[in-house]
C-alpha cells in the first residue's frame, strides 16, 4: 500500500499540467491536419472567391435592375457570345439603369434618353473604353482613348477633314466606287445567280469598306489590298464585340482580330508615306489622308516662317507633324467608326426600299428631278442638299434601325448617375440609343417606317432623342459624311438599278453583329434599269 500510495501520475502533478494541455492541443491539431489535403485547400479557396465575387456584385448592383445573383466569375458570358436583340431590348425595358457582370467587368446600362445623355455628357466622370480587346487592336495610345484637353486638341485637328468643302472633294472617288459595285451587283444577280436572290449583307460590307478606303486614302491603296482589308475587317468586328474572352489566345476571335488590325494599320501606313511624297511635290487633295497631310505641310511652313519673324496668315487648321504609324492608327479608328455602322444602314436601306416601292419611286423621282432628268449628272454637295425626301428616308432608316445601339464608356471615378445610385470607379457604363429613337412621345408610332415625319412632322425638333451619332464631346466626327454618303448611294441606285427582296420570316428579325442586320442577311436580286 505504501509503495502504491507513493506513486503519482506525472499528469496529476500541477507542475506538469502544461504537458497535458500541449498534448491535447497537439492531438486536436493532428486530427485536423490529417483531414487537410490539396483538394480541400483548393475547394476552400474556390468557395471563398465565389463568395467574394457574389458579395462584390451585390454591393456594386445596389438598387438598380439586374440579376439578384450572378454565375460565378463568368456571369452571362456564354449567353453574350451569341447576343440576341430581344435580350438587349428586355434589359433596356427593365429600368432606366440596369446591370450585368461579365468576368471582371461590372456593366451599368443607361437605357432612357435622359440617362444616356447624362453619360454622353459627363466627360469628367467617364471616357470611351470600347472593350478590353480594343486597346490591343486599336493600340492604347490611339487618339480615341485620349481624354480631356488632349482629346479636344486632337479632335480640333481633324474637324477640318469633314467640312462641307472637304466632303465635296471626296465625292468623285465615292461615285466611282458606286459605279463599279453596282455593276458588280447586277452581274452577281443576273449572270451568277440567273436572277435568283442571294444574301447581300456581306456584299454591302465590302461596298462600304471600299467607299471608306477610297474616301480615307484614295487610290494609294491598291484594289487587292482594299479587298483584303474588307474581307479581314470582319475579324476585327468579331474581336470587338461587347463580350469576348478577355485574354488574346491563339486562334480565338481576338487573336484573329489582332492580326487583321495589324495588317490594316500596315496598309494605311504605306498610304500615309505615299501621300506625304505626293503632297510635298504639289499634288492636289483627293482624299481625307491628302487633306490631313496638306494641313501638316502648311502648318510646318507657317511655324518655320514665324520662327524667322515673317508675318504670315495662320492656317485654318494648325496641326503637328504625325508619323505614318500615328496616321495609320487614326485612319483605322475612322474605319472602325464607319464600316459596321454604314454597312448596317446600307443593308436596311436596300431592304426597306424594296419592300416599300412607293417610297423608292419618290426617291427616284426626286433624284432625277434634281439632275433635270439626266441620271448621269455626278454627285455634288449642292445636288445632295436639294434631296429633301431622300434625306428623310436616310434619317428614318437610321432612327428605325439605328446602326449603333450602345457606346461603352468606363467610369474614371465614382459616378453619381442618380441621387440614389453611383456607378463604381472602373465599371463600364453604357448609354443606349435605341429606346430614345423609338420613344413614342418623340416619334409617334415608332415601329412604323415613316419618312414623312422628317418632312411634314416634327421629328427634326426632337434633337434630344436623336442619338444616332451620340452627343457630347465624343459625338461622331463623320455624321454629315455618313448621311450624305447614304443619300448619294440610295439616290444613285434608285436611278440605275431595280432590285427585288425575297421576304422570309427572318427579314424583319434583328441580328446583332456589332450593329443591327436582318437575320436572313437580306436576300436581294439586282437588275439594270434602262
Q: How far is CA 306 from the centre of its chain?
A: 42
**What pTM was estimated for this model as a whole?**
0.87
Distances (CA, A) of 4 to 1, 10, 15, 134, 510: 5, 14, 21, 87, 97
Residue with cell 491539431: 29
- Domains (ranges, CATH) in the chain? 133-429+438-528 (1.10.630.10)
pLDDT at 207 (0 to 100): 95
Check: CB of residue 516 under 8 Å from CB of residue 85: yes
Residue numbering of the annotated binding site for heme: 476
pLDDT at 47 (0 to 100): 81
Give DSSP secondary structure letters for 161-223.
GGSHHHHHHHHHHHHHHHHHHHHHHHHIIIIISTT--EE-HHHHHHHHHHHHHHHHHGGGS-H
Check: CB of residue 301 under 8 Å from CB of residue 241: no
- Spatial neighbors of 89 by CB under 8 A, at least 6 apart, are 434
Residue numbering of the annotated binding site: 476
Which H helix or E strand runs over 523? strand 523-528
What is the spatial distance between Cα 38 and Cα 230, in angstroms, rounded to a whole number?
52
Grid coordinates given for 151: 482629346
Q: By three-state DSSP, how is residue 92 classified?
A: helix
Give DSSP secondary structure letters for 416-454.
E-SSS-EEPTT-EEEEB-HHHHT-TTTSSSTTS--GGGG
What is the spatial distance between Cα 295 and Cα 330, in angstroms, rounded to a whole number?
15
Beta strands in 27-104 (DSSP E): 97-102
Q: How far is CA 105 from the centre of its chain?
A: 18
Provide the residue-wise pLDDT of the chain in tens; the chain has 530 residues. Answer: 444 444 444 444 555 545 455 555 566 555 655 666 677 778 788 788 888 888 888 899 899 998 888 877 777 766 666 778 999 999 999 999 999 888 778 999 999 999 999 999 999 999 887 666 777 888 877 887 777 788 788 888 898 899 999 999 999 999 999 999 999 999 999 999 999 999 999 999 999 999 999 999 999 999 999 889 988 888 888 877 766 666 777 878 888 888 999 999 999 999 999 999 999 999 999 999 999 999 999 999 999 989 988 888 888 888 889 999 999 999 998 998 888 899 999 999 999 999 999 999 999 999 999 999 999 999 999 999 999 999 999 999 999 999 989 988 999 999 999 999 999 999 999 999 999 999 999 999 999 999 999 999 999 999 999 999 999 888 888 899 999 999 999 999 999 999 999 999 999 999 998 889 999 999 999 999 98
What is the spatial distance between Cα 341 and Cα 321, in angstroms, rounded to a whole number?
30
Check: CB of residue 214 under 8 Å from CB of residue 180: no
Distances (CA, A) of 499 to 185, 208, 232, 393: 10, 18, 28, 17
Check: CB of residue 180 under 8 Å from CB of residue 203: no
Grid coordinates given for 108: 451599368
Check: CB of residue 289 under 8 Å from CB of residue 275: yes
Phi, psi of 110 (to 5 degrees): -100, 115
Distances (CA, A) of 120 to 123, 374, 410, 443: 7, 44, 11, 21
Phi, psi of 249 (to 5 degrees): -115, 150
Give DSSP secondary structure letters for 304-361.
HHHHTT---PPPSS------HHHHHHHHHHHHHHHHHHHHHHHHHHHHHHHH-HHHHH
Amino acid at each position: 500500500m505504501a509503495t502504491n500510495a507513493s506513486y503519482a501520475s506525472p499528469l496529476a502533478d500541477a507542475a506538469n499540467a502544461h504537458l497535458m494541455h500541449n498534448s491535447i492541443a497537439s492531438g486536436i491539431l493532428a486530427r485536423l491536419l490529417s483531414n487537410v489535403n490539396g483538394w480541400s485547400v483548393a475547394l476552400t479557396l474556390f468557395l471563398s472567391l465565389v463568395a467574394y465575387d457574389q458579395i462584390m456584385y451585390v454591393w456594386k448592383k445596389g438598387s438598380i435592375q439586374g440579376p439578384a445573383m450572378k454565375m460565378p466569375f463568368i456571369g452571362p458570358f456564354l449567353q453574350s457570345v451569341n447576343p440576341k436583340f430581344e435580350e438587349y431590348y428586355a434589359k433596356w425595358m427593365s429600368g432606366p439603369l440596369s446591370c450585368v457582370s461579365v468576368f471582371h467587368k461590372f456593366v451599368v446600362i443607361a437605357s432612357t434618353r435622359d440617362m444616356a445623355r447624362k453619360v454622353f455628357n459627363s466627360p469628367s466622370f467617364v471616357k470611351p473604353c470600347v472593350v478590353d480587346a480594343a486597346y490591343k487592336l486599336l493600340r492604347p495610345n490611339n487618339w480615341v482613348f485620349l481624354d480631356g484637353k488632349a482629346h479636344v486638341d486632337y479632335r480640333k485637328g481633324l474637324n477640318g477633314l469633314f467640312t462641307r468643302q472637304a466632303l465635296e472633294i471626296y465625292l468623285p472617288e465615292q461615285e466611282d466606287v458606286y459605279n463599279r459595285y453596282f455593276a458588280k451587283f447586277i452581274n452577281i444577280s443576273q449572270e451568277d445567280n440567273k436572277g435568283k436572290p442571294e444574301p447581300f449583307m456581306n456584299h454591302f460590307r465590302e461596298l462600304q469598306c471600299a467607299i471608306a478606303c477610297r474616301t480615307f486614302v484614295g487610290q494609294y491603296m491598291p484594289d487587292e489590298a482594299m479587298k483584303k482589308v474588307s474581307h479581314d475587317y470582319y475579324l476585327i468586328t468579331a474581336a470587338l464585340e461587347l463580350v469576348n474572352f478577355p485574354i488574346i489566345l491563339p486562334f480565338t476571335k481576338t487573336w484573329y482580330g489582332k492580326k487583321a488590325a495589324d495588317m490594316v494599320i500596315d496598309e494605311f501606313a504605306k498610304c500615309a508615306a505615299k501621300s506625304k511624297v505626293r503632297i510635298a511635290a504639289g499634288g492636289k487633295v483627293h482624299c481625307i489622308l491628302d487633306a490631313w497631310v496638306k494641313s501638316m505641310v502648311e502648318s510646318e511652313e507657317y511655324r518655320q516662317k514665324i520662327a524667322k519673324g515673317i508675318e504670315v496668315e495662320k492656317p485654318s487648321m494648325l496641326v503637328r507633324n504625325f508619323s505614318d504609324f500615328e496616321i495609320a492608327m487614326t485612319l483605322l479608328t475612322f474605319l472602325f467608326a464607319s464600316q459596321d455602322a454604314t454597312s448596317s444602314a446600307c443593308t436596311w436601306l436596300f431592304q426597306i426600299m424594296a419592300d416599300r416601292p412607293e417610297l423608292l419611286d419618290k426617291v427616284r423621282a426626286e433624284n432625277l428631278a434634281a439632275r433635270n432628268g439626266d441620271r448621269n449628272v455626278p454627285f455634288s454637295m449642292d445636288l445632295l442638299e436639294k434631296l429633301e425626301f431622300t434625306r428623310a428616308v436616310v434619317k428614318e432608316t437610321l432612327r428605325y434601325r439605328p446602326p449603333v445601339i450602345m457606346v461603352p464608356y468606363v467610369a474614371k471615378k465614382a459616378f453619381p448617375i442618380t441621387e440614389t445610385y453611383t456607378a463604381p470607379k472602373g465599371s463600364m457604363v453604357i448609354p443606349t440609343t435605341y429606346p430614345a429613337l423609338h420613344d413614342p412621345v418623340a416619334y409617334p408610332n415608332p415601329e412604323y417606317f415613316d419618312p414623312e415625319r422628317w418632312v411634314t412632322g416634327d421629328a427634326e425638333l426632337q434633337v434630344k432623342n436623336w442619338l444616332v451619332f451620340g452627343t457630347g464631346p465624343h459625338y461622331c466626327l463623320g455624321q454629315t459624311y455618313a448621311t450624305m454618303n447614304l443619300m448619294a448611294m440610295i439616290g444613285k441606285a434608285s436611278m440605275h438599278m431595280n432590285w427585288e427582296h425575297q421576304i422570309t420570316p427572318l427579314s424583319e428579325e434583328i441580328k446583332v453583329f456589332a450593329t443591327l442586320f436582318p437575320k436572313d442577311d437580306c436576300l436581294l436580286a439586282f437588275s439594270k434599269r434602262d
